[in-house]
Amino acid sequence: MMWILILLICSIPVSSFLWTNTKVTGIVGRSITINCRYNSRFKPNMKFWCHGWTRHCSYLVRTTDPGGQRGRISIKDYKAQRVFVVTMEDLRREDAGWYSCGIDKQDSDELRTVKLEVSDEPVSVPVIRFLTPNIWCFENLVSVSCESVQGSFPIRYTWYEKTQSVGSKISENNTLDLHCQLFKQQDHQYYCIASNTQGEKSSEMVKVTIVHRSERNCIFLAQIGNRDPVSLPELRFLSSPSNASCFGSSVSIFCERVQGSLPIHYTWYERTPSQDSKISNTSKLDLHCQSFTQQHHQYYCTASNTQGTKPSEMVNVSVTHRPGENCSYVAQISTSGADDCYKISTVSSTTTNSNITSQLDISYVVWDVIRWVFFTLLVICSVSVTMFPQKH
Residue 358 forms part of a structural domain: no
For residue 299, what are the β-bridge partners? 270, 315
Which candidate, 133, 108, 105, 121, places its Cα nearest to that of 11? Answer: 108
Which tens digits make up the pLDDT trace of 313-347?
Answer: 898 888 877 666 667 778 888 754 433 444 444 43
- Distance between CA atoms of 283 and 234, rounded to whole angstroms? 11
Residue 152 lies in a domain: yes
97 assigned to some structural domain: yes
**Residue environment code for 119-158, b if the CB has 16+ CB neighbours within 10 A, otherwise e:** eebbbeebbbebeeeeebebeeebebbbbbeebbeebebb
What share of the chain in percent tops pLDDT 70? 75
The DSSP secondary structure of 1-40, one letter per residue, reads -HHHHHHHHHHS---SSEE--SEEEEETTS-EEEEEEE-G
Give the DSSP H/E element, type plus range, for residue 97: strand 97-103
Picking from 90, 119, 148, the residue at the C-terminal end of a domain is 119
Is the pLDDT at 357 greater than 60? The verdict is no
Compute φ and ψ for 20, nearest 5 degrees. Answer: -165, 170
Q: Is residue 274 in some structural domain?
A: yes
Tell me whether residue 291 is in a domain.
Answer: yes
- pLDDT category, 164, cuts 50, 70, 90? confident
pLDDT at 367 over 90: no
Position 346 scores a pLDDT of 42
- 195/94 same-domain check: no
Residues 6 or more apart in contact with residue 115 via CB below 8 angstroms: 22, 23, 24, 97, 98, 99
Of 208 and 321, which is predicted with more confidence?
208
pLDDT over threshold 60, residue 146: yes
Judge if 136 and 111 occupy the same domain: no
Our measurement of the distance from residue 336's CA atom to the centroid of its chain's CA atoms, rounded to an integer in Å, reads 31
Query: The whole model's pTM is what?
Result: 0.52
Q: Is 85 helix (H, G, I), strand (E, B) or coil?
A: strand
Q: Beta strand pairing status for 284-288 and 73-78?
A: unpaired
pLDDT on residue 230: 80
Q: Are residues 102 and 151 in the same domain?
A: no
- Is residue 156 in a domain? yes
Q: Other C-beta atoms within 10 Å of 245: how many?
A: 13
Q: What is the number of structural domains in the chain?
A: 3
In this prediction, residue 74 carries a pLDDT of 97
| Same domain membership, residue 259 and residue 216 | no
Tell me which DSSP letter residue 42 carries: G
C-alpha distances in angstroms, 172 versus 157, 168, 208? Answer: 6, 12, 20
Same domain, 41 and 25: yes
Listed in order, strand segments (DSSP E) in 225-264 are 234-237, 250-256
Q: Is residue 379 part of a domain?
A: no
- Tell me the pLDDT tens digit for each residue of 33-84: 999 999 999 999 999 999 998 888 999 999 999 999 999 999 999 999 999 9
Give yes or no for residue 385 having a pLDDT over 60: no
Give the closest residue to 126 by CA, choosing from 47, 224, 218. Answer: 224
> Rounded CA gap, 51 and 14, in Å?
16
d(C-alpha 301, C-alpha 291), whole Å? 17
Distance of CA 56 to the CA centre of its chain: 41
CATH number reported for the structural domain that contains residue 48 in this entry = 2.60.40.10
Do residue 189 and residue 281 come from a single domain? no
Q: Where are the alpha helices (DSSP H) in the chain?
A: 2-11, 349-387
Task: Indicate the residue among 224, 259, 287 that finishes a domain.
Answer: 224
Q: Which domain holds residue 167?
A: 127-224
Predicted confidence band of residue 380 (pLDDT cuts 50, 70, 90): confident
Residue 245 shares a structural domain with residue 341: yes
Q: Give pLDDT tens digits for 234-251.
A: 888 875 443 333 344 577
Q: Is residue 377 part of a domain?
A: no
